[in-house]
Amino acid sequence: MNVVILSNTDKKIKANDLIKLYQNVGWWEERKQQDIEEMLLKVKSVGAWKDDTLIGFARAVSDGKFRAYIEDVVIHNSYREEGIGTKMVSKLLDELSHIDVISLFCEEKLLPFYEKNGFKYSKSQFIMHKK
């Protein structure tokens, strides 16, 4: 399969393409195009492209120096289990190589995937959300 992983600086990810990808996996129905456009301007992100179709996406929220959080690692349902997620995370980590600590939140079932990609599970920290 001919899939290319590119940073958003190499190939711009359009909000409309990302909305289609989110819809494919059942994510974020409530998110609006304008809000996604604004988000894309503020984050480091990578896309997986099959020809001109966005089939994968991952982003990182960061202060630019000390901390970054990987979010929204998503792959189109038709392209899962083909190593695309690993390639996207690797590309995003390359983009963030100057950051001291890179973290992420994930469901328990995804722990083996992220451990295989160099992340370590921490029992000493807790996730807290407000809202």
pTM for this prediction: 0.90
DSSP 44-85: EEEEEEETTEEEEEEEEEE-SSSEEEEEEEEE-GGGTTSSHH
Report residue 1's pLDDT band, with 50, 70 and 90 as the boundaries.
low
C-beta of residue 56 within 8 angstroms of C-beta of residue 48: yes
Domains and CATH numbers, the chain: 3-116 (3.40.630.30)
pLDDT, tens only, 112-125: 889 988 898 888 87
Decide if pLDDT at 76 tops 90. yes
pLDDT at 74: 96
The residues with which 57 forms a beta bridge, in sequence order, are: 47, 74
pLDDT, tens only, 31-71: 999 999 999 999 999 999 999 999 999 999 999 999 999 99
Average pLDDT, the chain: 92
pLDDT at 127: 78
Residue 47: φ, ψ to 5°:
-125, 150
